[in-house]
Amino acid sequence: MNKNIRVVVGMSGGVDSSVVANRLLQQGYEVIGITMRLWPEACQNRVEEKCCGPQAVADARAVAQQLGIPHYVMDEQVQFQRHVIDYFVAEYRAGRTPNPCVLCNEGLKFGTLLDKARSLGAEYVATGHYAILEHGDRMRVRKGRDERKDQSYFLFSLSQSQLAHALFPMGDITKPETRVIAAQLGLKVATKEESQEICFVADDYRRFLRAVGVAEHAGDIVDSAGRVLGQHPGIEFFTIGQRRGLGVATGRPLYVVAIDAARNRVIVGDDAALASAECVVERCNWVSILAPEQPREVSVKIRSQHKGSAAVIEPFDGGTRVRVRFAEPERAVTPGQAAVFYDGDLLLGGGWIARTQPAQTSNS
């Protein structure tokens, strides 16, 4: 048992964090629930409430009362704007596709929330991530048992000191099992719909960008030779691999294959032009291993729902950057997204895709 070990649970008002609190109670921890209030009222009036708004706070408070644990609300509006929303908008303006969940984990859940936990005398912050954490001389992260729900991808940027004070109690169970536990406990959130990957975007990120002040600014849609095919309303509203909504009629399917922010251009091509032979990944963080010094075979996920592809990583600049050479050309490798490296289920580390190298084709 873990009597007298205090743990703060980041309670989002959802089923996962609610079951986390119960599981830790069952294991003998002293549990405190904290919900981070992230959205200013003015912002809630402009975009759909999806992340830690008033309803989430109310749900978390109700669960905490039912479990008999104290519950507090942290006002993190300024930090959320700085760490997540400003970054989200800036990445699209730079022609990259952001991954805000990684920044939220790093800056808030295991940043300001961890600081608050320590001030309350808590040893750990626990979250509802479906991942397995092995405590030891070096903290190691593995994929969660629920392969469909595994969230280890979003944890690659956490430091060893952050992981040393983290708990992921959901790593050994599946999402259906989580809902069964919640139902058995009679928790009102047992059947609550879960948030999507970007929890603060209800459906279309373009509508969100417009709601937070991104104005349209026309530019050219061009092919790989620079021929102008049409106009776009702003590079922020396009992502690599996008096919719908281009407004260009050529008689054949076209996809966004690159975004040139400096020239305010969206570059389109056929499906073959989306294939990349390699990419460069920057700002790497190594989790379960020290920074590699030699090339290494890995499985790499280039986005959260990607199944992983065989590749060789070649480190340089002391392992802060790597070149990823895919065993087979990979489709829609997107600057701004995270590339996360695995050896089996072991999370080695990851970084941010900076640029790609198109695969050579017989027609090139």
Active site residue ranges? 104, 199
Task: Give the pair of three-digit tokens for residue 216.
Answer: 């349209």
Say if CB 163 and CB 285 are below 8 A apart: no
